[in-house]
Amino acid sequence: MKFSESMQKLDRRYIYIVLAIAVILPLVFPIGFKTYSTTPVEDLYRHIDAIAGRDDMAIIMDFTHDPGVMPELYPMDLAILRHCFERNIKVFTISFLPQGAAIIQLALSEVKEDYPDIEANIDYCNFGFKPWGLKLPIMLGMGDDIAKAVETNSEGLKLENLPIMQDIKNYDNIQVVVEISGSSMGQFWVTYARAKFGVDVAVGLTAVMAADVYPLLQTGQFIGSLGGLKGAAEYEQLVDIFAMNGQEFSKKKARNMKWVEQAYKNIPEKARLYKYNKARIGMDAQAIVHVLIILFIILGNIGYFLEQREQKKKYMK
């Protein structure tokens, strides 16, 4: 059988087997491809890091996503929480989906394992699940008084009585709202919270949604974004090379791969745990599969054109 015919008649199951191997091997044996950070991710990291150590400022993380998008979004959850815990940044978590509340608990428990000194309701506060119908009242109400708008945390405790709220009143004390979802939920925060109260908003979303936020980034309505697994991998790296090394963010250093490689040598062992490297390990597999798919497309087209040429020769005879 000629090459052109073999390309056209190749059993697709072989392709699936090759792709499966290409996915599994890098996940089991990480390659460690270089990760280059981009401006939207750097802007979000720098914005959050600017309030390190301050008692009168915090961030809000909105976990309005479900398990279906966890492969892309959960590494973002862990990376931002780790950044906050490492740099002593107060963080509030909330979800307008019941499934999101469980993801918050999972993420907090995973990160807290490595930060035993971090205390609930002092260093962070989980607002838990709030019904979708209360989304707008809560978003708008937090502009006046967060404690009154949200009322209780996930444990049913009154916010006004919690130590973390001592210096936190409203959006004036919120550095940024980070909406992590697989939808356009972030635009609700822009429309109601940013437009009326001026609070900064950023998003973490699936790769397929990433292009939709570029206009909002260009106009400054979003101050940063994490797009899919790539965005999560970039944020993981920034946390490792800056927060875990106790250094202030520097774009020049972040984009100097020699400096990045040197910084990796000094990070503590807990930063090397699998759970804090999920996105970068996933990017290894994703990069290889993308190359393979491109290769298969090229081979398929070569086979097609060769077959067409052979048929044309037969016709000419």
pLDDT tens-digit profile of 204-221? Answer: 999 998 888 999 999 999
Edge-to-edge strand order for the sheet containing 174-181?
A: 124-129, 90-95, 58-62, 174-181, 201-205, 225-227
Residue span of the structural domain in which 265 resides: 35-276
Are 74 and 116 part of one and the same domain? Answer: yes
Domain count, the chain: 2
Tell me the average pLDDT of the chain: 92
Are 144 and 194 part of one and the same domain? Answer: yes
Are 310 and 228 part of one and the same domain? Answer: no
The answer to whether residue 314 scores a pLDDT higher than 80 is no
pTM passes above 0.75: yes
The answer to whether residue 8 scores a pLDDT higher than 70 is no
**Paired sense of beta strands 201-205 and 90-95, if any:** unpaired
The answer to whether residue 7 scores a pLDDT higher than 70 is no
pLDDT tens-digit profile of 24-82? Answer: 999 999 998 889 999 999 999 999 999 999 999 999 999 999 999 999 999 999 999 99
- The pLDDT score that the predictor gives to residue 302 is 82
The answer to whether residue 187 scores a pLDDT higher than 60 is yes
Are 289 and 269 part of one and the same domain? Answer: no
- The pLDDT score that the predictor gives to residue 299 is 83
Are 156 and 303 part of one and the same domain? Answer: no
Residue 263, number of CB atoms within 10 A of its CB: 19
3-class DSSP assignment, residue 212? helix
Are 122 and 237 part of one and the same domain? Answer: yes
Are 9 and 124 part of one and the same domain? Answer: no
Are 67 and 23 part of one and the same domain? Answer: no
Are 309 and 213 part of one and the same domain? Answer: no
**DSSP summary character for residue 22:** H
The answer to whether residue 4 scores a pLDDT higher than 70 is no
Are 23 and 153 part of one and the same domain? Answer: no
Which of 241, 223, 280 shows the shortest CA–CA distance to 86? 241
pLDDT tens-digit profile of 119-173? Answer: 999 999 999 999 999 999 999 999 999 999 999 999 999 999 999 999 999 999 9
Are 136 and 22 part of one and the same domain? Answer: no
pLDDT interval class at 317 (50, 70, 90):
low
Could you tell me the two tokens for 42?
Answer: 């750097």
Are 251 and 293 part of one and the same domain? Answer: no
